[in-house]
Amino acid sequence: MVKNNKERNTMNKENEKYIYKVVGENLKRIRRAKGYSVVKLSMESNYSEGFIRNIESPSYLQTFSLGTIYHLAQILNVPITDFFQE
């Protein structure tokens, strides 16, 4: 059975895009809690501001590697697992 676009875009745990949303929300929360602006995190990580904003955006699917999240976790001084908390 072919799913319609609405069903395909639904964010649930069965949808592989779900984890990108979880990580993006956590990155934004952690970044703010640590007192980092997007600009500061961009400068320290050597990732563009747009890339970081896209990761954090609930309306844009920005893919990224585990290496990216590992690097951001080191900069923000948090365990990488913090990014996967639901």
Domain ranges of the chain: 15-84
pLDDT digits (tens, 9 = 90+) for 69-78: 999 999 999 9
pLDDT at 5: 45
pLDDT digits (tens, 9 = 90+) for 14-71: 888 999 999 999 999 999 999 999 999 999 999 999 999 999 999 999 999 999 999 9
8 pLDDT band (50/70/90 cuts)?
very low
Question: What's the chain's length in residues?
Answer: 86
Residue 66 buriedness (CB in 10 A; 0-12 / 13-18 / 19+): exposed
Residue 9 φ then ψ, to 5°? -90, -5
Do 55 and 64 meet the contact criterion of CB atoms below 8 Å apart?
A: yes
CATH of the domain spanning 15-84: 1.10.260.40
